[in-house]
């Protein structure tokens, strides 16, 4: 593991901790290392934005950071099942250009996760990993898409009896 990568990740973690200490607001994206001694494996949650079919849902994510970070992007996957054209329903893989060929070292893990959150509201149907969800949008059936997303959000990501 690269010392430069470890230092960068530790700096990002300190910034996130400081932000959390100074805020009483529940964040839409909340991430941290799985173990404080291993900066290359992170976990977190993404909360569905208000006024979207994801509202009320909380999805667990897994982040694997390559040893060449920040020169190479992290791998972000949804652990909680989610219905979205650019997210594989079974594996949780995310298809997002900044996690592939448009990554730059200016991005942080937090900003990459915020981009994933933004993707939930603005799917790209031309590069789907969930073809069924993309096809519903291709046929301009937004009410059906919203209903489909809400169904899976309720089934997997919306707390029932205190569980998520």
Lay out the sheet containing 75-78: strands in order across: 29-35, 38-47, 58-64, 75-78
- Among the listed residues 65, 82, 94, 95, the single catalytic one is 95
CB-based contact 53:150 (threshold 8 Å): yes
Q: Is 113 a catalytic residue?
A: no
Cβ-based neighbours of 131, under 8 Å, separated by 6 or more: 85
* CA 150 – CA 95 distance, rounded (Å): 21
* CA 99 – CA 155 distance, rounded (Å): 28
**Enzyme catalytic residues:** 95
């Amino acid at each position: 593991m690269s010392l430069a990568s470890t230092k960068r990740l530790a700096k990002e973690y300190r910034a996130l901790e400081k932000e959390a200490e100074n805020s009483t607001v529940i964040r839409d994206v909340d991430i941290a290392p799985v173990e404080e001694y291993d900066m290359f494996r992170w976990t977190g949650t993404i909360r569905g934005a208000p006024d979207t079919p994801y509202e009320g849902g909380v999805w667990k994510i897994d982040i694997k950071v390559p040893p060449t970070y920040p020169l190479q992007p992290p791998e972000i996957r949804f652990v909680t099942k989610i219905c979205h054209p650019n997210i594989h329903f079974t594996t949780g893989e995310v298809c997002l250009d900044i996690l592939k060929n448009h990554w730059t070292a200016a991005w942080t893990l937090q900003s990459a996760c915020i981009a994933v959150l933004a993707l939930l509201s603005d799917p790209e149907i031309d590069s789907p990993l969930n073809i069924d969800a993309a096809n519903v949008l291709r046929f301009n059936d937004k009410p059906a898409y919203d209903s489909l997303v809400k169904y899976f959000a309720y089934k997997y990501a919306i707390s029932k009896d205190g569980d998520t």
